[in-house]
Amino acid sequence: MLKGIGAAVVGLIVSVVYGMSRKFLKEHKGILISIAAFLCLAVFKLNPIGLIIAAGIVGLLVFGEEQRHGIT
């Protein structure tokens, strides 16, 4: 029974990831940030909360500059 629940949870997570990626990853910069965060989590086992904070800061630096200069 637990294997079935685990499989369902994985399916739900994949569904959420797919939906969020279609909504938020429209530029190569965002895709690179997401790949870097995934690799840091999967390979280096870094803290997920720290990765979220770091990705937010990087996003502000990268995308904030574009908004200040009127680049879309």
Q: How many CB atoms lie within 10 A of CB 30?
A: 16
- pLDDT reported for residue 67: 66
Give every CB contact of residue 54 below 8 A, 6+ residues apart in sequence. 37
pLDDT in tens, 55-68: 999 989 988 866 66
Beta-carbon count within 10 A of 55 CB:
16
pLDDT for res 4: 87
The residues spanned by each domain of the chain are 25-72
What's the pLDDT tens digit per position in 21-48? 898 888 888 899 989 999 999 999 999 9
Residue 34's nearest CA partner among 10, 16, 58 is: 58
